[in-house]
Chain A
Amino acid sequence: MASTENQQDLYADPSETSQGKVFTVTGQDWDSITQGLGDAADERVVVNMGPQHPSTHGVLRLILELEGETVTEARCGIGYLHTGIEKNMEYRSWVQGTTFCTRMDYLSPFYNEATYVLGVERLLDIEDDIPEKAQVMRVLLMELNRISSHLVAIATGGMEIGALTVMTIGFRERELVLDLFELITGLRMNHAFIRPGGVAQDLPPGALDEIRDFVSLMRKRLPEYAALCNANPIFKARLEGVGHLDLAGCLALGLTGPPLRSTGYAWDLRKTQPYCGYEDYDFDVQTWDTADAYGRFRVRLAEMDESLRIVEQAAKRLADLEGAPVMVGDKKIAWPSQLSIGSDGMGNSLDHIRHIMGESMEALIHHFKLVTEGFRVPAGQAYVPVESPRGELGAHVVSDGGTRPFRAHFRDPSFTNLQATSVMSEGGMVADVIVAIASIDPVMGGVDR
């Protein structure tokens, strides 16, 4: 049904292309291409894959030039998920900024918040005043987030090569992490929980028990992934040697995270440039030496084990920190109230309402000013990157001394790492393009922002 004669393509009229015929293929009708080509023995085909395609990790558009089944050129088209988050942040207060940036890379929201908040705290010069409990809770949430993010990377990567069981068990375990997030922050994603000065809420009662249960369950379940995949001949055949990129290539193209560590270079910002007190935790940086998709899979799998170790240590420290503050002491920065559950749902704590409405006019004014106007951040710029599950995630935060960010730019690892698509997939099979991209693990929300 699809051929140049009888179907008009709204977007690429045959007369508009400079060379070759245009076929619009929408499903299982590839035969129409072979029929349409006839005896013309030209094997060179340019395929537009996406932006809506189940194997492209969101709305990523790939333009592939094929010679038979070999990819000769691969290019990415991005921007389909651009929502102007950086621009929007310029019209909100510094605290409200967290609610915007948490939505960028939706699989690792805590990292988006953390890098932004660390930049703001550096400009405020309160880095040393953040309470210990807030730092430990940040580490705890970030490491749980690393587990959930790596689980999605492995799950969707498995699904795209047909290993459906890897997908189902990956999402099964991720659900447990999201339940923990819901218990601690109230939301499964878009938390806006890490705030300038600390975190939004104290741990709810019973959270530490749930975390311990989760850790012991994951200790049993993570080996299942290893047993299912590590030596699986089909899995290895699809992943080994695919998407190869060595250390020099990674540095030139700016790749960080699992792709960099799969070359054998143990670069991890948690070790090399610690933030949030990572230097106090005992963990190892995981590497592999094959620099391919299989190596990246093994790095991610091993990193989940390391994250469990950190979560365990953080939970242990939190048990000793019951009742400790989770927000900086400076009342000109700290959000004035905590949330609590009342008879009509969640809202500001009743004690706080009683205080500002019945006892102290100054407290009411203070609450009003801090909530509506926010605080001022001294003029300057800061860049405090964190090690997100995908690599170096950094926020370039610029203040002009006002109550709103003058500019916030996010260096998202998905955006940078996706540039390696061409070099990873050109010269390989078209089926390996999917594996290569899955091994980069791009999240389009972070790429397009």
Chain B
Amino acid sequence: MSNPQDNPSDKPETAHVDQPAVEQSPENLPAPGGEGTEVRSAGQRRGMFGVSGTGDTSGYGGLVSPIVFPSPSQRPYGGWFDEVADALEARLRQTDLTAAIESVVVHRGEITFHVRRDDLPFVAQMLRDDEALRFEFCSGVSGVHYPDDTGRELHAVYHLLSMTHNRRVRLEVSCPDGDPHVPSLVSIYPTIDWHERETWDMFGIVFDGHPAMTRILMPDDWPGHPQRKDYPLGGIPVEYKGGSVPPPDQRRSYN
């Protein structure tokens, strides 16, 4: 028991060095996209079984792999994607708002426009009204919380449908945790009223200009926003000497 090796704090420094996984050796990494594409890492995955420190007896605790989402695409996007992007850019150029579209991601046959949040209502209005675009139907907004994507933690994702041209696009805006404000689209797509309330309820994104930004699914006096990744989860007390089943994010599991 007196062996200093048993005390984790006395372990030599080398024991804590993160070793890249074999899958990350250069020959195993995916080929980079086109020239100049930027690969953004939105966080890291560590270990294999959701445990760290002395609880980790697997030996895999030092694994580190970056979480990389599909990187922005370069032209040509293929199919009708270019027509939509052209029409959108042409209209934006007329109004000196070329910077409104931050990036375009084409992945698995779906196109995503990352929009600067201040310009969202303008872009949505154009997508709805322009004859070449005509995205007259909005399926709603869905929030996504990326706690490790510093400065763009909260994303609001809109799915638009053009019944005229039978096309779908996705708009994505992001905002930092410290300033969770996104302009509301209720005046453009009235259907998004409840969807924005739900996203506020679950993620705490404030949709500026919404006529009645109140909770919709959770009780009015509920504290916090449950679908954020940092929302504390409760454990389950069991009738054994005050024990409890740990909350799901602290249980041993694959990650």
Contacts and interface: CB of A to CB of B under 8 A. Distances in A.
Interface of A: 78-79, 82, 84, 86-87, 91, 122-123, 125, 251-255, 267, 272-273, 372-374, 379-383, 385, 392, 394, 396, 398, 400-404, 406-407, 409, 411, 415-416, 418-419, 448-449
11 contacts: A82-B218, A122-B108, A253-B190, A254-B189, A383-B110, A400-B45, A406-B144, A407-B144, A409-B143, A411-B139, A411-B195
Contacts of A87: 226-227
Nearest to B163: A267
A382 B144 CA distance: 13
A76 to B, nearest CB: 9
Contact of A402 (B136, B140, B145, B255): B255
Contacts of A385: 139
Contacts, number: 114
B216 A78 contact: yes
A383 B254 contact: no
Size band of the interface chain B makes with A? 35 or more
Given A253-B191, A372-B254, A396 B218 contact: no
Interface in B133-191: 136-140, 142-145, 157, 159, 163, 166, 168, 170, 189-191
A82 B197 CA distance: 14
Given A252-B189, A254-B191, A373-B254, 18 more contacts: A123-B108, A125-B108, A251-B137, A253-B190, A254-B137, A272-B163, A272-B166, A380-B70, A381-B110, A383-B110, A383-B159, A383-B168, A401-B67, A403-B255, A404-B255, A409-B144, A411-B142, A448-B217
A416 B159 contact: no
Nearest to B140: A411
B42 interface: yes
Chain B at the A interface: mostly helix, strand, loop or mixed?
mixed
Given A396-B159, A409-B142, A382 B110 contact: yes
A145 B198 CA distance: 28
A379 to B, nearest CB: 5
A380 B70 CA distance: 6
Nearest to A376: B254
Ordered nearest first, which 4 A-B pairs have the shortest CB separation?
A254-B191, A409-B142, A91-B248, A79-B217
Contacts of A383: 110, 139, 159, 168, 170
A252 B170 CA distance: 18
Contact of B142 (A272, A392, A396, A448): A396
B219 interface: yes
Contact of A411 (B109, B159, B168, B255): B159
A394 B139 contact: yes
A266 to B, nearest CB: 11
B71 to A, nearest CB: 10
Given A122-B109, A252-B191, A400 B67 contact: yes
A293 B146 CA distance: 43
B43 interface: yes
A254 B248 contact: no
A25 B35 CA distance: 71
Nearest to A122: B108
Interface of B: 42-43, 45, 67-70, 107-110, 112, 136-140, 142-145, 157, 159, 163, 166, 168, 170, 189-195, 198, 215-219, 226-227, 248-249, 253-255
Chain A at the B interface: mostly helix, strand, loop or mixed?
mixed
Contacts of A416: 140, 191, 194-195
Contacts of B159: 383, 394, 396, 411
Q: Determine which residue in B43, B138, B140, B144 has the highest number of CB atoms from chain A within 10 A of its CB, and name it.
A: B140
A125 to B, nearest CB: 7
Given A125-B108, A379-B69, A402 B166 contact: no
A381 B67 contact: no
A380 B108 contact: yes
Contacts of B190: 252-254
Contact of B67 (A91, A379, A382): A379
A373 to B, nearest CB: 4
Contacts of A392: 139
Nearest to B137: A251
A186 to B, nearest CB: 27
Contacts of A409: 142-144
Contacts of B45: 400-402
Contacts of A79: 215-219
Contacts of B253: 91
A102 B214 CA distance: 28
A383 B167 CA distance: 13
B216 to A, nearest CB: 6
B227 A380 contact: no
B141 to A, nearest CB: 9
B142 to A, nearest CB: 4
A192 B71 CA distance: 33
B73 to A, nearest CB: 12
A379 B217 contact: no
Contacts of B142: 396, 407, 409, 411
A131 to B, nearest CB: 20
B226 A84 contact: yes
Contacts of A252: 189-191
A415 B197 CA distance: 12
A82 to B, nearest CB: 4
Contacts of A273: 166, 168
A406 B42 CA distance: 12
A419 B254 contact: no
Contacts of A267: 163
B114 to A, nearest CB: 12
B110 to A, nearest CB: 6
A272 B255 CA distance: 38
B203 to A, nearest CB: 10
A372 B253 CA distance: 9
A398 B144 contact: yes
A400 B109 CA distance: 18
A379 B70 contact: yes
Contacts of B215: 79
B128 to A, nearest CB: 10
Nearest to A75: B212
Q: Determine which residue in B142, B143, B195 has the highest number of CB atoms from chain A within 10 A of its CB, and name it.
A: B142
